Amino acid sequence: MTDSPAEKKKIVLSGIQPSGVFTIGNYLGAIKNWAEIQEQYDCVFMVANLHATTVRQDPAALRKNTIDGFAMLLAAGVDPKRSIVFIQSHNPHHTQLMWALNCFTQFGELSRMTQFKDKSARYADNINAGLFTYPTLMAADILLYQADLVPVGADQKQHVELARDIVNRMNGVYGNLFTLPDCLFPKAGAKIMSLADPTKKMSKSDANPKSFVAVLDPKDTVIKKFRSAVTDSGSGIYRAPGKEGIGNLMTIYSAFTGKTDEEITAEFDGKGYGDFKTAVGETVADALAPIRERFAEISADKAYLRACWESGCEAAQRLSGRTLNKVYKKVGFLP
């Protein structure tokens, strides 16, 4: 009796925008998970610099942030030998497929996107067409690589649902063009809130630098930020309504140590908020130290960085080109 062939790994596609420094929220919610799932899946990861331009960018800053973002992925454990890692704008197939998908995406679907409504309110002086249609570009990102799974937070679920609608629509017309993607939700506790306002998600674009901890912040800065984190006026390290600040710190401490809420509460029994904040700060700073060191090494080796993103782009184009050619042929474009 012969052994059955090994089951084909599922394909995962994900990207992160180079819109500034990466926070521990980005690290815990995305990048750390990317590094961990490389064994289980065939992974395609990108620095999504096309998506970043729906908001006006300084060109020099965008270039620097793109390079830093790519280096950060490698420093945090994304392996260019095991995964396809590339810069989105290096592969023109994304925008080429987007046009075909635009013609199968309804105006009403795009106008209902929650993030379009939110960003239109936030950037009322620049409600551009890219802001309106970028969910279709996101669908192109996913469908080009025939991705089975897309790691997302709850705020991105709507975009994967739109991609699924487009797949069903186009597959219904042309046959089996695309794989139907599903969401891959992160493990519970990955949502990190602002240190200055624990009712808001931690964001690298927050105007208050004390609200977030950047992966590249020096150790003293990390500890100082945690010591100044907003908490309630009570005592005791446990989760409860009104103790959102302490709850957020517990989530962060748990994410870096693997300890449960019960273990954390027991560890800090009889200790004050100051002791807990300092412990969280020191734990996070020590955990980030190897990433900071590796980032400095990788960033200094320009030739290595360029070689990685060039080989990543070649691998991405080999995969995406097959999908694009199939779609263009079915739609009726001349080869």
- How far apart are the C-alpha atoms of 43 and 41, rounded to whole Å? 6
| Chain segment 73-106, per-residue pLDDT in tens | 999 999 999 999 999 999 999 999 999 999 999 9
**178 and 288 housed in the same domain:** no
User: Could you give the angle at the alpha carbon of 13 between the alpha carbons of 136 and 253, nearest 5°?
Assistant: 115
* Structural tokens at position 115: 């993030």
Which of 266, 235, 240, 234 minimizes the C-alpha distance to 253?
266
What is the per-residue burial (b if ≥16 Cβ within 10 Å, else e) of 163-191? bbebbeebeeeeeebbbebebbebeeebb
Identity of the residue numbered 260: T
Residue 48 placed within a domain: yes
* Structural tokens at position 103: 């013609």
List the catalytic residue out of 204, 210, 219, 259: 204
Query: Which backbone phi and psi does 182 adopt, to 5 degrees?
Result: -125, 160
**238 and 131 housed in the same domain:** no
- How far apart are the C-alpha atoms of 276 and 245, rounded to whole Å? 12
**223 and 180 housed in the same domain:** no
pLDDT at 255: 92
**116 and 82 housed in the same domain:** yes
Is residue 189 pLDDT above 80, yes or no? Answer: no
**132 and 50 housed in the same domain:** yes
Domain containing 224 equals 209-297
| Chain segment 287-333, per-residue pLDDT in tens | 999 999 999 999 999 999 999 999 999 999 999 999 999 999 999 99
Q: What is the mean pLDDT of residues 265-274?
A: 95
pLDDT at 4: 44
Q: What is the mean pLDDT of residues 274-285?
A: 97
H/E segment holding residue 184: strand 182-184
Counting the structural domains of the chain, the total is 2
201 in active site = yes
List the catalytic residue out of 32, 119, 225, 277: 119
Residue 155 placed within a domain: yes
Is residue 5 pLDDT above 80, yes or no? Answer: no
| Chain segment 39-79, per-residue pLDDT in tens | 999 999 999 999 999 888 999 999 999 999 999 999 999 99
DSSP state of 2: P
pLDDT at 187: 66
32 in active site = no
Find the CATH number of the domain harbouring 245: 1.10.240.10
**23 and 60 housed in the same domain:** yes
pLDDT at 116: 81
* Structural tokens at position 273: 């908020």
State how far the alpha carbon of 31 is from the alpha carbons of 57, 237, 239, 317, in Å.
Answer: 23, 28, 27, 23
Find the CATH number of the domain harbouring 138: 3.40.50.620
Residue 36 placed within a domain: yes
State how far the alpha carbon of 218 is from the alpha carbons of 50, 208, 226, 296, 308, in Å.
Answer: 30, 17, 13, 12, 27
204 in active site = yes
List the catalytic residue out of 10, 157, 191, 201: 201
Assign residue 15 a region (left: φ > 0; alpha: ψ between -120 and 50; beta: otherwise).
Answer: beta
Residue 203 placed within a domain: no
Residue 198 placed within a domain: no
